[in-house]
């Protein structure tokens, strides 16, 4: 920026291929004061932050998504490339800091060459130098800078080495008068001859600057010895086979087992099972604490404000709504923390490669398996985990089928309904039924994915071609500090973006169940305070807008053998599936303590009758119909909110709601009536 002239902040953009170390450098330069948002009209995320004032004044840093080249292969990649020319909010970057993996220089220089062809002014920040040194190699930065005609600096984000030199280069560029330099032209299609020329030039430059570690003399590389070492170590490569030789010896030895057709799959399944178990079991204590905390806050708010409309609104509408958001945070944190460890270690790319082939048969991607598996714990973090899928169509298809995974919120419902069908002494039979439910959810998700894949272009408004190309990075120890930082950031994004939508739905649901708030009457008799409160709540529910809606949809419920009361419970379960159990307890006046709650609900269910016909409300046929309904129905507003967040519009979640609710109703109707025809009623 010109001294003495008040201008907008200097904008620098970090650019580089995936796993090059952009985010680590971004965190060092900004002090992790990142703001992560989506590009307008897309699900591509970027982070912005101000470079620390101890380094520079009035400089903004943009961390752009990782790109392999300036030739996008999907709509989201096109968005990531387009913002390099003109960001929708910040405009054109003044210059680019291109983070280049020094251990994979030949592959990373393609992006550098393309950026220079477009007229960008760039600074090259060399990362992963420790990996290069492990191969007994080093890089001549002076020669590289001379050959590419741009500043080159070695940086280590873990130690901060090289950052002062990078800051000095940025200062020099910022003081130049042409700091608003724009790219001359966008990169057009290159001819075959041009591509060959670029790759030949990259190979020539690489051979000049990569040398054995003990022979590096700035500006005077020992070419003969360097070339012989490069050939022996596989750094020079002309095809995909030689490309694999970039992995160090330890990575190759590990991959003999991790990428083995049999042992690799066994290891992958074990690791994925460990992830699922961790998400489910490790999160439970924290989720219980959060649940109890918000339950305590809700009860205390009633004591402070009183049992009136405002007390009820604060406790049930606000605090309970916030609690329904916060209760998922432990699962989100654990999921992204483990995925961060796997990704930083280099394993996640290998796991995705192993599982890609079977999933590709149904139009999914190898990276779809982890979100699908974690969906058995909760659809919220599972949908968010689809961000690791680069292909837009495959990401949307994965998001589309994740609600079919039987999440932990369904367990209380399944436990109650199975307990109605199976005597408690035959617990093994109940376990078999529960296992069948989970297996059927997987089978039907595969079937639906195959069907939706045929119409995916019209459903998701995308014409991406299915492809699976990814880098196999070397194995390395995860950077725990960065993993925790990214995990906290992901949790914050969930709370900020999905939380407001979920809270709004909670308030709407409270309004429907509380108003018009007619004055309930308590029949004469000796009742405890708790029983009176339950009867008042029951009568208020029966005269609420939710009950009116329940009566309105009763004609839809009757073909399933159910009435408006179950309809109200299903509406209430839209806030969270497990609410279905507590709604039944409320509707059927269950006032027993927690130790006998389930048995009291079961007793009330067995005695309940349809008011208009006098027939039993709950029978084996209707219970099986309800189980089938919950397997398919998207009874979760949190899932809809996050689905909208991750897909960028309401199109996909609305289609999910209509399709899954329709399938759930049709299959439940068929099950109930077929069972009745066989006398199972």
- Do residues 193 and 207 touch, judged by C-beta distance below 8 A? no
User: For 273-308, how does the pLDDT look when each residue is reduced to its tens digit (9 = 90+)?
Assistant: 777 667 667 777 887 788 788 878 888 888 898 878
Question: Please, what's the b/e burial string for 591-628 (b: 16 or more CB within 10 A of its CB; e: otherwise)?
Answer: beeeeebbebbbebbeebebeeeeeebbbebbbbbbbb
State the angle between helix axes of 22-30 and 480-493 in degrees (0 to 180), rounded to the nearest 10: 80
Residues in the chain, total: 681
- Joined together, the tokens standing for residue 486 give 């990214």
Q: For residue 610, what are the CA distances in angstroms to 220, 313, 552, 584?
A: 92, 32, 16, 15
pLDDT number for residue 241: 32
DSSP SS3 for 6: coil
* β 35-38/45-50 pair status: antiparallel
pLDDT number for residue 606: 86
Give the predicted TM-score (pTM) of the model: 0.59
Residues of the chain where predicted confidence (pLDDT) is lower than 50: 1-6, 40-41, 179-180, 184, 216-247, 591-595
Q: For residue 10, what are the CA distances in angstroms to 6, 33, 89?
A: 11, 17, 14
- Give CA–CA dist 181/42, Å, rounded: 27
pLDDT number for residue 502: 66
Return the CA Rg of the chain. Answer: 30
pLDDT number for residue 5: 45
Q: State the residue for tokens 């290069």.
A: 132
pLDDT number for residue 630: 92
CATH number of the domain located at residue range(s) 10-246 in this protein: 3.40.50.300
- Give CA–CA dist 544/184, Å, rounded: 65
How much of the chain is in helix, strand and coil states, percent to nearest 5? 65, 5, 30
- Joined together, the tokens standing for residue 658 give 């209509």
Helix boundaries (H) for 346-426: 347-360, 369-374, 379-384, 392-401, 411-421
DSSP SS3 for 212: strand
Q: How far, in whole angstroms, is CA 538 from its chain's centroid?
A: 39
Domain boundaries, the chain: 10-246
For residue 154, report the phi and psi dihedrals to the nearest 5 degrees.
-90, 130
- Give CA–CA dist 455/363, Å, rounded: 11
Q: State the residue for tokens 């999910």.
A: 656
- Joined together, the tokens standing for residue 316 give 């049930």
- Give CA–CA dist 330/382, Å, rounded: 13
Q: For residue 8, what are the CA distances in angstroms to 91, 407, 438, 667?
A: 11, 49, 56, 60
């Amino acid at each position: 920026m010109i001294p003495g002239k008040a201008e907008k902040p200097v904008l620098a953009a970090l650019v580089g291929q995936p796993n090059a170390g952009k985010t680590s450098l971004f965190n060092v330069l900004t002090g992790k004061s990142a703001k992560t948002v989506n590009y307008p009209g897309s699900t591509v995320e970027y982070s912005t932050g101000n470079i620390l004032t101890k380094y520079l004044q009035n400089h903004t840093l943009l961390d752009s998504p990782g790109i392999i080249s300036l030739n996008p292969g999907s709509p989201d990649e096109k968005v990531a490339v387009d913002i390099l020319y003109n960001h929708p909010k910040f405009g054109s970057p003044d210059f680019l800091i291109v983070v280049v993996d020094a251990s994979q220089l030949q592959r990373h220089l393609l992006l550098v060459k393309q950026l220079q062809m477009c007229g960008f002014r760039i600074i090259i920040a060399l990362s992963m130098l420790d990996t290069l040194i492990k191969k007994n190699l080093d890089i001549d930065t002076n020669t590289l800078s001379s050959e590419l005609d741009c500043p080159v600096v070695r940086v280590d984000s873990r130690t901060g080495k090289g950052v002062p030199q990078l800051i000095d280069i940025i200062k020099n560029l910022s003081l130049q008068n042409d700091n608003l330099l724009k790219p001359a032209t966008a990169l057009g299609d290159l001819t075959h001859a041009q591509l060959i020329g670029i790759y030949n030039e990259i190979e020539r430059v690489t051979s000049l600057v990569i040398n054995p570690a003990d022979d590096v003399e700035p500006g005077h590389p020992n070419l003969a010895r360097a070339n012989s070492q490069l050939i022996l170590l596989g750094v020079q490569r002309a095809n995909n086979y030689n490309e694999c030789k970039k992995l160090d010896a330890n990575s190759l030895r590990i991959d003999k087992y991790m990428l083995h057709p049999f042992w690799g799959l066994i290891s992958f399944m074990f690791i994925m099972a460990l992830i699922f178990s961790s998400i489910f079991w490790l999160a439970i204590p924290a989720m219980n604490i959060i649940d109890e905390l918000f339950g305590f806050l809700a009860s205390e708010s009633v004591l402070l404000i009183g049992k009136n409309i405002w007390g009820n609104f604060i406790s049930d509408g606000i605090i309970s709504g916030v609690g329904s958001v916060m209760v998922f945070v432990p699962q989100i944190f654990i999921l992204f923390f483990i995925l961060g460890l796997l990704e930083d270690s280099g394993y996640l790319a290998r796991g995705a490669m192993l599982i890609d082939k079977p999933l590709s048969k149904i139009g999914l991607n190898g990276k779809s398996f982890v979100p699908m598996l974690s969906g058995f714990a909760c659809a919220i973090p599972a949908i968010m985990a689809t961000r690791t899928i680069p292909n837009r169509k495959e990401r949307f298809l994965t998001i589309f089928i994740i609600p079919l995974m039987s999440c932990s919120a369904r367990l209380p419902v399944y436990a109650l309904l199975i307990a109605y069908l199976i005597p408690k002494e035959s617990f093994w039979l109940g376990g078999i039924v529960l296992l069948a439910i989970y297996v059927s959810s997987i089978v039907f998700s595969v079937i639906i994915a195959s069907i939706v894949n045929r119409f995916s272009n019209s459903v998701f408004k995308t014409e991406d071609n299915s492809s699976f190309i990814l880098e196999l990075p070397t194995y390395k120890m995860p950077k725990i500090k960065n993993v925790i930082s990214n995990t906290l950031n992901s949790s914050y994004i969930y709370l900020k973006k999905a939380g407001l939508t979920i809270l709004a739905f909670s308030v709407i649901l409270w309004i429907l169940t509380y108003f018009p708030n007619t004055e309930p009457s308590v029949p004469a008799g000796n009742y405890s305070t708790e029983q009176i409160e339950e009867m008042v709540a029951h009568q208020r529910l029966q005269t609420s807008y939710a009950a009116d809606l329940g009566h309105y949809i009763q004609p839809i419920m009757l073909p399933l053998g159910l009435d408006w009361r179950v309809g109200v419970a299903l509406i209430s379960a839209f806030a969270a599936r497990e609410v279905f159990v507590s709604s039944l307890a409320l509707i059927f006046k269950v006032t027993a303590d927690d130790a006998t709650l389930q048995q009291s609900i079961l007793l009330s269910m067995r005695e309940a009758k349809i008011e208009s016909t006098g027939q039993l409300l709950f029978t084996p046929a209707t219970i099986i119909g309800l189980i089938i309904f919950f397997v398919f129905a998207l009874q979760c507003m949190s899932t809809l909110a996050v689905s909208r967040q991750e897909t960028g519009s309401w199109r996909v979640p609305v289609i999910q709601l209509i399709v899954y609710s329709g399938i759930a109703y049709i299959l439940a109707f068929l099950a109930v009536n077929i069972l009745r025809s066989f006398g199972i009623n």
